[in-house]
Structure 1
Amino acid sequence: MNFAIISLGSNIEPEKNIRKSKAILSAEFRVLRETVPVKTKPMEFKQQPDFINMAILVETRKTLQELNKKLKETEKLLGRIKTENKAGPRTIDLDAVVWNLELKDRHVLEWPFLKASVKELLPELLNKTGKQAPNWAKQI
């Protein structure tokens, strides 16, 4: 069995798109825990609406590649259009940020809302400095 933390973010009809993406993912994966959605300011491209962000911890038999494929399919289903501005507005953004206790996204350590989500879902993964704990595998 594999475990992943999936980040969810939206700033185009965010409540609706977060709710729909959670429903789709819940039908596909066993959701173990989820964070409370939080309103956040855009991190890179500032001239756009605020985001709603959250994360879920899931259990799956899928591989990381299969999980990522499902996330991209879900984004497309909910109207995500990829543009040259990778930090621009989006209906939904879904990313596997942790896979089997391994950080998969550098933003986990850089973006406060993402770090807080990972700490909430798997507090033993990050040490007090916010960096990946060297002995995290033994702690779980």
Structure 2
Amino acid sequence: MQKYLCSLGSNLEPETHFPQAQVALKALSDDIRFSRNIPTSPVDMDTNNDFLNALFIIRTPMSANELKQKFNAIEEAMGRDRSDPQRSFKDRTIDIDILGRLEEKPPVPEYLTSLLPDLGLTS
């Protein structure tokens, strides 16, 4: 079993998409913990829509590649066009990323470091 530190973000109707994504993520593991949700400004994209972001830790027997495939399927089911090469620069219903294996203390974007204590972690 591996534990991964991951991030969750949305800047299109996040009040609707966040709970939906969390339900889908909980279906992947009985051992998942979420931080609180915080509003953040967009990074490296031109939009008027602020983001809602969170961190989470998921424990799973899946490899990082298998887990990312599951995350991508959730994103697509929620309307994200993963085939668009410009998708990283566009508004999104949901974005789920693996930051790394928890034991490796993966780097966390600065705008999310305030969430680490929610998960019992330090920056």
TM-score range, shorter chain: 0.7 to 0.9
Max Rg structure: 1
Q: Which runs of 4+ in 1 moved over 3 A?
A: none
Per-residue deviation, residues 76-135 of structure 1 (Å, max 9, x unmatched): 01001243151320000000113142255x5x1x4322x2234532425x3xxxxxxxxx
Distance 1:87 1:103 in 2: 27
Query: Which residue in 2 is equivalent to 1:131?
Result: none
Aligned residues: 121
Q: 5 Å matches for 1:99-110?
A: 99-103=101-105, 108=108, 110=109
Q: Percent identity?
A: 26
Is structure 2 residue 79 aligned with structure 1 residue 76? no
The more displaced of 30-39 and 49-58 is: 30-39
The TM-score with structure 2 as length reference comes to: 0.85
- Where does structure 1 lack aligned partners over 5 or more consecutive residues? 127-140
The TM-score with structure 1 as length reference comes to: 0.76
Q: State the shift of 1:28 in Å.
A: 1.0
Distance 1:102 1:15 in 2: 32
Distance 1:117 1:31, change over 3 A: farther
Aligned alpha-carbon RMSD (Å): 1.9
- SS, match of residue 28 in structure 1: coil
